[in-house]
Structure 1
Amino acid sequence: MFAHVDINNCYVSCERLFRPEFEGRVVVVLSNNDGCVIARSNEAKAIGIKMADAEFMVRERLEESNAVIFSSNYALYADMSARLMNNLARYTPTLMVYSIDEAFMAMGGLIEMGLDRYTAMISHNVMRDTGLPITIGVGPTMALAKLANKAAKKKKRGYLVLDDTKKIDEVMVDFPIEDVWGIGHAYYHKLTEFGITTAQQFRELRPDFVRQHMTIQGWRLHQELWGIPCNVVRDVAERSKGIESSQSFNTYQTELEKVEEAVAMHASTVALKLRQQKSMALNLTIYLRTNKHNVKHDQYYPSITVKVPFAANSTHELTRVCVQALRAIWQPGYNYLKTGVRATGIIPAGEVQYNMFVGHENSRQQNLSELMDSLNDRYGRGTLRLAAEGFDKTWKMKQDYLSKQYTTNWREIVVTK
């Protein structure tokens, strides 16, 4: 058996945890530069606020409903996510962190009190120990666990266990096909052409038909909905998807020096994430974006992918490569709104092969990066950084509604009276 756990309205729940007076009110969290809605309370959903709505388009509606607005506080959300995952690890021998607010748990062979009681206990204890409301779906495969989670939300229940055929069939009958894990935009339209609108109808298709029209991924999903596991919960998430750091500027940028500072900051963030998961990157992609919504400005969307001479995760090496790559695609005369760095070709740090000419320099850079990590862990992120990141970050993103970093900054810790 597998369990899928996620935080209800994750970013909103994190904010409400430290501001409980906002329970029952319309609450939204905005994306970088306070541009779009990326998290909504149930009250916000009830008044028609949709995911990815531009803030300026729903501003009047938010004001009329006396809504509470927050800028994205990723430091807070990441810390609360880590607390949740550490808590969940107490209840399973194998935990796979799927995203900042989701995880899969292996549940087989460890429940003596019964799945329903065990799941209810996890839900209660997590709320008690972290303050975060969660929903848990349990099923014989990861796809069915994910389906059970969504079904529990629709029924406004804290958990749902699908541990026999009858329960699975009851949920499948009217479960929308577009809500099934793994059914993306393309698969959804293809299935609706065949008249498939529910999970049960999809499950009734012949396996060879699914294999023909939906490749091996669709076939695996079909098997999972029949209770045949095709996915495996791993102790660590897959490294091959890539790591990215990006953000929009608060104003248009036209100077290369300022954009270099932003690229250096993103390269540093990517390097840190690589070291945290004990990985190294073989390729780096650097890109620039103008504002596609401003038709008065000339448009330019350059990007370049470069191969790192040897797989690396040191801040110095990645920053050097990224800044050089930026200069190769830079064109003056444009109003740039966004830049970012993406690392791909990610491999475990222990599998890198060097030659006799790079060992000393790589070891030195690695030691410097580890020293930076140690100091920043102790005194706060950004305490020690490369000069290439700049000091007066005039390009820093807009965050007019940013809450405090209650759990990661001693100066902003909660004060009780």
Structure 2
Amino acid sequence: MENQYTYYTPEQDENNQNAGGPDLKEPHKKNKKGTPKWVKTACLGLVFGLVASAAFQTSNIVAGKIIGTSDSAKKAKQTATVDSTKLTTSADSKVASDIADIAKNTMPSVVSITNMSVQQVQNFFGGVQEQKSESVGSGIIIGQNDTELLIVTNNHVVEGNDTLTVSFIDEESVEANVKGTNAAKDLAVVAVKLSDIKDSTMDAIAVATLGDSTQIQVGEPAIAIGNALGYGQSVTTGIISATNRELNGFDGKLIQTDAAINPGNSGGALLNAKGEVIGINSAKVATDTVEGMGYAIPISDASDIITNLMNQKTKTKVAENERGYIGIQGVDVTADSAEMYNMPTGVYVSEVISGGAAQKAGISKGAVITGLDGTEINSMSTLQEQLQYYKAGEKVTLTVQTPGKNGEYEKNDVEVTLGTNAQ
């Protein structure tokens, strides 16, 4: 199944592989026609105004205002003549904008997330070597407890990490840890210790205000904020293009928007016209034939899952030689397989290792593992991702579904004491 999620890594700029992204090296095209037409028109209008003013100065007040020939109290400084033309620049170039106000108020609640991982790759000589990889995404500050600042993002932003770094609006960066993940819904919550955050940063950041995504309507304004291309926070605008969209590889309905969702925006905020978070930017359709189709997870659909993830124990990876093992061999039960064979989505236990933790806990071949300590398990990769936070000898609660007499699967929670890799 093709992965619809969009990732961004700095190496893509070097290899010019960021298809669909802006070409930052393209030079600006020169205007081959010399003086722009609007400048010529303005100058002709100015000459006409001067002549008209001379003839009708006492009666044509409107013309006098245009060229600066009205009374001294309203007269503007003359900055252009026929012989010497100058550009006039306003002393105050600020333009009031609702979007600007929303961005100003909301950007302190959006963060950048850098995922550093180590991957095993095959080298030129056929051997395997470790290679460091860096990817970036975004996150939204959603609350805090007594010791931690809590940030929601996409699961694909944080999966496979060796270290996570969160950067705030004031460009201060701190290390973060995974609080909880839900791969099927592509959601994750990460935590930053309050003790690691400077007081000045705490003054600069804010907790986002969540909206009600069930009330959004097609055609209403949408604003996306995130760490696009890893360059830092940026803002794009558009409308809600559609609701209740389905996308291959995602379990649930999505909001569609034409606000640009660029690589690095994943995990960032989709806002309504009030500046409330209505969605978590998750994916875009990235092909040469598609333009303006980005997707976000509706915040109202995700709220219960986020609450569950916020209340999980913060996870810290353990050394590989200390990690605990269940003692099984498993096969993914995908959504398609689950529908075809009337099975739950998860990990089908194809073999139980003799003397391993699963056998000791009474788990048998044919069972389907669907959860671990409250985290939904939908694949072997998700199960392995979670087990890297547990040491051998620790106890975990596995949610296991086994086929009953009538063919329906029965759910049970089984306490398992993790074993070593040798078991």
TM-score, normalised with respect to structure 2 = 0.25
> Which protein, 1 or 2, shows the higher relative CO under an 8 Å CA cutoff with sep ≥ 6?
1
Greater Rg over alpha carbons, structure = 2
TM-score, normalised with respect to structure 1 = 0.25
Q: Which has the higher strand share?
A: 2
